[in-house]
Amino acid sequence: MSTFSPTVIHSEKEYTGETDRKSVRQAISDALWEEMERDENVFIMGEEVGVWGGTYAVTRGFYDHFGERRVRDTPISEMVIVGAAVGAAMNGLRPIAEIMTINFAFVAFDAIVNHAAKVRYMFGGQFTVPLVIRTTTGGGRQLGATHSHSPEALFAHFPGLYVVTPSTPFDAKGLLLSAIRDDNPVLFVEHSTLYQNRGLVPTVDYVVPLGKADIKREGSDVTIVTYAKMVEIALDAAERLQDEEGISAEVIDLRSLRPLDLDPVLESFKKTNRCVVVEEGHPFASVSGEIAARIQDEAFDWMDAPVKRVNQEDVPLPYSRELEQSALPNADKVIAAVKEIM
């Protein structure tokens, strides 16, 4: 393994050095490529990751460069993709297993929950599982009920597994590098409609630590807590709230659902005394429910209004474009929720 002494950067705002403009796709691809160049124990396995170049084109060119030993096309077999990656991780490698979409992670649920997340504890810490499971999430692409889930909360339920969900190219690359280098299993969830988004990425080696939230916009009247694709929507809503209503919203990107970094949320709440949580997934047993519960428990004395939640409607997502869009969170719904508690 060649030496790697990255700068640890907690937030894009702190970084003042040289940057390139890159898409989320390219940022993720770069992280994978660089880490495979550095560490022979890192390899990729999954459906269509090799010859095809990845169904979201993240691993395009990898197969030709690294070869079939390190970029391994698998059969359509999610249970064994995750399970075999767990076994390889137990036995000394650092696998990156790709599950094409999080909808198919349900097929591998047992391997993720009972094995990736549990084996270290269950055997008294005899081995670690340095595994990254990369997958894509999100609705809004007219893919119908089975291919449009945003079930991150479900996976974040279980101790032993990290759940990481970037919203920008900067965070995506820095968090993925941390994930690959971490000895815990990490479910790395990429939103399928963010791949084209562009942003600034440092040209120097850097990592973003896991388990730290990031304030994406500072404000003083209300705290909007969110992650992944919903960060974009929350920022849009915050701009409009400022322009149209004179309301100053702070937007916190959780970036990691487990471990959940609640401190910046509480700190912000103690300043604004109001909170709206925006989450693409359903409201029941959700991240938004968790945040609301924790705020009332840990910051009750600072509450000026109930914590509001903007989630996907509590129905399966339909195909028809307008109907599907009406079921998903958007800036209008966020603005309405904020106005309700001001």
Number of residues interacting with other proteins: please give it, by CB under 8 A.
41
Hey, is 130 helix, strand or coil? coil
Question: Among residues 9, 24, 71, 90, which is the contact residue for other proteins, using CB under 8 A?
Answer: 90
Sign of CA dihedral 152, 156, 160, 166: positive
- Would you say 12 or 182 has its CB closer to other proteins? 182
The C-alpha atoms of residue 180 and residue 197 are separated, in whole angstroms, by 23
Q: Which positions from 177 to 216 touch other proteins by CB under 8 A, shown as an x/- string? A: -----xxx--------------------------------
**Residue 259 preceded by cis peptide, ω within 30:** yes
Q: Can you give the length of the chain in residues?
A: 342
Q: Which residues pair with 43 in a beta bridge?
A: 95
Q: 147 an active-site residue?
A: yes
In whole angstroms, how close is the CB of 137 to other proteins at the nearest point? 23
Could you identify the residue written with the tokens 């660089």?
34
What proportions of the chain, in percent to the nearest 5, are helix, strand and coil?
Answer: 40, 20, 40
In angstroms, the Cα distances linking 290 to 117, 156, 234, 255 are 20, 11, 19, 15
Q: Is residue 1 a contact residue for other proteins (CB under 8 A)?
A: no
Question: In terms of DSSP bridges, do strands 198-202 and 206-207 run parallel, antiparallel, or are they unpaired?
Answer: unpaired
Q: Is residue 114 a contact residue for other proteins (CB under 8 A)?
A: yes
The DSSP code for 101 is S
Q: Which positions from 145 to 164 touch other proteins by CB under 8 A, shown as an x/- string? A: --------------xx----
Catalytic member of 10, 65, 147, 282? 147
Q: Is residue 85 a contact residue for other proteins (CB under 8 A)?
A: yes
Could you identify the residue written with the tokens 């190219």?
169
**By CB under 8 A, which span of 75-83, 172-180, 322-330, 332-340 interacts with other proteins?**
75-83
Q: Is residue 93 a contact residue for other proteins (CB under 8 A)?
A: yes
Q: Is residue 121 a contact residue for other proteins (CB under 8 A)?
A: yes
- The H or E element spanning position 156 is helix 152-156
**By CB under 8 A, which span of 86-94, 218-226, 281-289, 301-309 interacts with other proteins?**
86-94
Interacting residue ranges for other proteins, rule: CB under 8 A: 43, 69, 72, 74-75, 77, 79-80, 82-93, 95, 110-111, 114-115, 119-128, 159-160, 182-184, 259
Active site residue ranges: 147
